[in-house]
């Protein structure tokens, strides 16, 4: 919605084309960053209250953390682009970026914007809210590729399973919270190893050919090993989640 409104206003002000798209992306990035930092800081304040610290100290270190994270993120983006590239990249499909581009480009060019499709999406969201289904989860399933949707489906089934094994609501909530924490760890671990892989390619672009057969990863043996590891992670998540105790 931020991208649509900002793009519409910028076009009315006479700013379009590549300059207008860049301006709209900058506005969207500022809004997204502000929301994420504000949301994280609210949680930090709650934790700081429990630990006995003061908001002033937290704000000081929060600003420092923002500077460090901004610098490190820019460096990681540079490494990812050099290692794999963002345009037409199999390693970095960037579905969210493609979705934003599909929204901005019609608004910033002479091509008419697909307002009918936007209206249909809004109507579908209202229907989903009415019947108790999350529009965000539905939308993610619509535009994310299958290799990202599959873990989401498995995670959703796991969440349903662990929260319906007991009639004790507190125990189910404890299991759900523990499962969410484990899933967050999987996401963070996958991201870190993805960056590590990019750093290896950044340092030595022929690393796959020298030390690892790139074609093996797409072979039947590689697929079987990947499936086995995925099942092991699923089994661990299920086992550890069910160990949660009522708080």
Shared-domain flag, residues 94 and 166: no
Shared-domain flag, residues 158 and 93: no
What percentage of the chain reaches a pLDDT higher than 90?
A: 12
Shared-domain flag, residues 245 and 150: yes
- Going by the DSSP 8-state scheme, the letter that residue 113 receives in this structure is P
Q: How many CB atoms lie within 10 A of CB 125?
A: 16
Between 136 and 224, the higher pLDDT residue: 224
Shared-domain flag, residues 170 and 227: yes
- Going by the DSSP 8-state scheme, the letter that residue 125 receives in this structure is H
Shared-domain flag, residues 153 and 229: yes
Residue 70 tokens read as 């901004």
Shared-domain flag, residues 1 and 108: yes
- Going by the DSSP 8-state scheme, the letter that residue 91 receives in this structure is S
Of 97, 113, 129, the residue that ends a domain is: 113
Of 63, 96, 113, the residue that ends a domain is: 113
Shared-domain flag, residues 150 and 164: yes
- Sign of CA pseudo-dihedral 246, 179, 191, 193: positive
Decide if pLDDT at 217 tops 70. Answer: no
Q: Which of 10-19, 46-55, 148-157 has the lowest mean pLDDT?
A: 10-19
Cα separation of 92 and 203, whole Å?
A: 18
Shared-domain flag, residues 229 and 126: no
Burial of 218 (0-12, 13-18, 19+ CB in 10 A): exposed
The pLDDT of residue 182: 92
Q: Where does the pLDDT of residue 30 fall: very low under 50, low under 70, confident under 90, or very high at 90 and above? A: confident
- Going by the DSSP 8-state scheme, the letter that residue 247 receives in this structure is -
Query: What predicted TM-score, i.e. pTM, was given to this entire model?
Result: 0.69
The pLDDT of residue 222: 79
Shared-domain flag, residues 207 and 168: yes
Of 61, 91, 113, the residue that ends a domain is: 113
What's the domain range around 137?
120-144
The residue among 18, 122, 36, 111 whose CA lies nearest residue 73 is 36
Number of domains in the chain: 3
Cα separation of 158 and 235, whole Å?
A: 10
Phi, psi of 11 (to 5 degrees): -65, -40
């Amino acid at each position: 919605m931020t991208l649509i409104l900002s793009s519409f206003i910028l076009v009315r002000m006479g700013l379009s084309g590549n300059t207008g798209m860049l301006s709209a992306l900058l506005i969207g990035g500022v809004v997204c960053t502000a929301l994420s930092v504000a949301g994280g800081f609210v949680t930090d304040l709650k934790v700081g209250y429990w630990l006995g610290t003061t908001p002033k100290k937290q704000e000081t270190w929060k600003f420092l953390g923002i500077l460090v994270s901004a610098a490190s993120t820019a460096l990681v983006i540079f490494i990812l682009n050099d290692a794999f590239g963002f345009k037409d990249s199999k390693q970095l499909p960037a579905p969210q970026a493609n979705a934003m581009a599909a929204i901005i480009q019609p608004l910033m060019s002479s091509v008419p914007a697909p307002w009918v499709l936007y209206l249909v999406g809004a109507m579908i969201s209202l229907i989903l809210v009415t019947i108790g289904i999350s529009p965000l989860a539905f939308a993610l399933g619509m535009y994310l590729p299958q290799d990202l949707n599959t873990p989401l489906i498995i995670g959703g089934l796991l969440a349903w399973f662990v929260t319906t094994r007991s009639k004790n609501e507190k125990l189910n909530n404890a299991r759900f919270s523990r499962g969410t924490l484990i899933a967050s760890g999987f996401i963070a671990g996958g991201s870190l190893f993805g960056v590590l892989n990019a750093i290896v390619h950044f340092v030595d672009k022929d690393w796959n050919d020298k030390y690892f057969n790139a074609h093996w990863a797409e072979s039947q043996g590689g697929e079987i090993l990947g499936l086995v590891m995925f099942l092991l992670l699923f089994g661990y998540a299920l086992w550890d989640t069910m160990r949660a105790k009522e708080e």
